[in-house]
């Protein structure tokens, strides 16, 4: 463990980033961390980079790493007591980052109907959809039928593609002529009031 004040400085930076979604220039960091010289900041930044909290993004700007975000992820620890120490699992900074890999061509669609209830997709849920025309059998897709969105498994048999609901009360859909795919379902989320 560290015996210096870097974790305090880091905390200040985390607060700033949480508020402004951006890291300030060195002069402002000095301000935030009660330092009086940019040279001190330069050394601080060196340490935080070395320790894996900061990195340099393309273009040269300072950027946070995944380690910069203290994110409470509690594992379903099978044994023992759920300790806060076991929280830090890596790789996702926020739910947004985890669910949306390509923001520019990703949209949300609200689920209507219970045709996918067997796949854990309920009415009122939102699905995260990456817009694209091509999809693989087995994927859950948003297709356009009769001008409406419909969410189904994409399947194919010897006669061609078909849309399969995850609900025994619905039947297979075989597109009349051409199947119009709006996008691929890459995620799903739901909120309990």
Partner DNA sequence: AGCTTAGGTGAACGTTCGTTCACCGTAAAG
Partner DNA sequence: CTTTACGGTGAACGAACGTTCACCTAAGCT
Binding positions for DNA, 114-143, rule CB under 7 A: none
For its own copies, the closer of residues 83 and 158 by Cβ is 83
Integer Cα distance of 64 and 128 in angstroms? 26
Among candidate residues 135, 139, 99, 97, the one with its CA nearest the CA of residue 116 = 139
Q: Taking CA 117 as the corner, what is the angle to CA 116 and CA 121, rounded to the nearest 5 degrees?
A: 75
Binds DNA by CB under 7 A, chosen from 5, 94, 122, 171: 5
Binds its own copies by CB under 8 A, chosen from 50, 136, 147, 159: 147
**84-91: long-range contacts, CB 8 A cutoff, minimum separation 24:** 90/66, 91/66
Question: Going residue by residue from 19 to 58, which x/- string records binding to its own copies, judged by CB under 8 A?
Answer: -xxxxxx-xx----------------------------xx
CB of 38 to DNA, least distance (A): 4
Tell me the three state secondary structure of residue 35: coil
For DNA, the closer of residues 47 and 131 by Cβ is 47
Regarding 72 and contact with its own copies (CB under 8 A), the answer is yes
CB of 10 to DNA, least distance (A): 11
Binds DNA by CB under 7 A, chosen from 1, 58, 60, 81: 60
Integer Cα distance of 165 and 118 in angstroms? 8
For its own copies, the closer of residues 80 and 178 by Cβ is 80
- Cα-flanking dihedrals φ and ψ of residue 130, to 5°? -95, 120
N- to C-terminal Cα separation, the chain: 41
Binding positions for DNA, 13-52, rule CB under 7 A: 25-28, 30, 33, 35-45, 47
Integer Cα distance of 149 and 169 in angstroms? 19
Give the active site residues. 115, 152
């Amino acid at each position: 463990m560290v015996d210096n004040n870097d974790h305090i400085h880091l905390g200040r930076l985390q607060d700033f980033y949480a508020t402004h979604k951006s890291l300030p220039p060195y002069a402002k960091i000095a301000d935030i961390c009660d330092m009086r010289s940019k040279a001190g900041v330069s050394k601080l930044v060196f340490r935080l980079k070395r320790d894996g909290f900061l990195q340099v993004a393309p273009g040269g700007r300072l950027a946070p790493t995944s380690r910069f975000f203290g994110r409470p992820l509690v594992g379903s620890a099978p044994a023992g007591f759920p300790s806060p120490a076991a929280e830090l699992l890596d790789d996702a900074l926020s739910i947004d980052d985890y669910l949306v890999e390509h923001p520019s061509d990703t949209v949300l669609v609200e689920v209507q109907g219970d045709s996918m209830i067997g796949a854990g997709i309920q009415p009122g849920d939102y699905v995260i959809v990456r817009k694209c025309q091509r999809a693989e059998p087995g994927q859950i897709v948003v297709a356009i039928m009769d001008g409406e969105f419909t969410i189904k498994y994409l399947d194919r048999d010897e006669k061609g593609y078909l849309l399969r609901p995850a609900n025994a009360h619905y039947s297979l859909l075989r597109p009349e002529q051409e199947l119009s795919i709006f996008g691929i379902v890459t995620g799903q989320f739901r909120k309990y009031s």
